[in-house]
């Protein structure tokens, strides 16, 4: 449907007769396929075989590095180079002008988290807070810059960023002014 005007498809679960997709995607022959997840046995195997891009949500530096090593093994098994796959990271940015402001945001996340039943399938109270914050880009602008540099050294090509409470504390503005210019 991305490459032809009308398509017939007869699959296990779906059937399409004269299927139309308009407008067609700009990329030829199709948009890049991004597969995201944390699964090391199945997800990374599918990434190695089919994906143009791979995304890991909320991974610490150590976890991201481990995922890349496993992905590399899967790529070798299917005869593909890991460098053919763009790497992305979905990360929360918790940024403040100073340590006091960062701690204030962290405290609010912990407080508000108690009201949530689940985060990524886990009960909030079962998630070690140090592990939770270690898997975010967190700190002053300088600290955020250093952590982003660490991910880039691992091979991260793109960042998909989320700013908790950005409306209240303008963290996105601080990030745009102090962090983004360091990577242009």
Q: Where are the domains of the chain?
A: 32-183
Residue written as token pair 């204030």: 104
1 pLDDT band, cuts 50/70/90, is: confident
Q: What is the pLDDT of residues 22-37, one digit of tens each?
A: 888 877 777 889 999 9
Quote the pLDDT of residue 116. Answer: 63
Is residue 163 within 8 A of residue 171, CB to CB? The reply is yes
> H-helix or E-strand containing 9?
strand 7-10
The single-letter DSSP state of residue 59 is -
Question: Per DSSP, which regions of 101-179 are E strands?
Answer: 118-119, 122-123, 137-139, 156-162
Residues 6+ apart with CB under 8 A from 140: 95, 96, 97, 98, 99, 102
The domain defined by 32-183 folds into TIM Barrel (3.20.20)
> Which residue pairs, CB below 8 angstroms and at least 24 apart, start in 28-36?
28/3, 29/2, 29/3, 30/2, 30/3, 31/2, 32/86, 34/88, 36/88, 36/90
Q: What is the pLDDT of residues 100-154, one digit of tens each?
A: 999 999 988 888 876 565 555 667 777 788 888 999 999 999 999 999 999 999 9
Q: Per-residue pLDDT averaged across 156-179, rounded?
A: 92
Quote the pLDDT of residue 126. Answer: 77
According to DSSP, the residues that pair with 56 across neighbouring strands are 89
């Amino acid at each position: 449907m991305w490459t032809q005007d009308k398509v017939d498809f007869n699959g296990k679960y779906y059937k399409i007769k004269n299927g139309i997709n308009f407008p067609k995607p700009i990329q030829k022959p199709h948009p890049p396929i991004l597969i995201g997840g944390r699964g090391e046995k199945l997800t990374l195997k599918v990434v190695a075989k089919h994906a143009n891009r791979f995304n890991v949500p909320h991974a610490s530096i150590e976890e991201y590095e481990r995922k890349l090593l496993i992905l590399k093994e899967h790529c070798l098994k299917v005869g593909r180079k890991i460098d053919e796959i763009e790497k992305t990271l979905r990360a929360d940015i918790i940024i403040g002008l100073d340590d006091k402001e960062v701690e204030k945001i962290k405290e609010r996340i912990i407080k508000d988290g108690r009201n949530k039943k689940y985060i990524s399938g886990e009960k909030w109270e079962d998630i070690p807070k140090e592990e939770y914050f270690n898997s975010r880009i967190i700190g002053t602008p300088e600290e955020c810059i250093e952590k982003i540099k660490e991910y880039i050294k691992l091979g991260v090509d793109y960042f998909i960023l989320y700013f908790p409470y950005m409306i209240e504390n303008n963290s996105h503005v601080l990030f745009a002014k102090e962090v983004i210019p360091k990577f242009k």
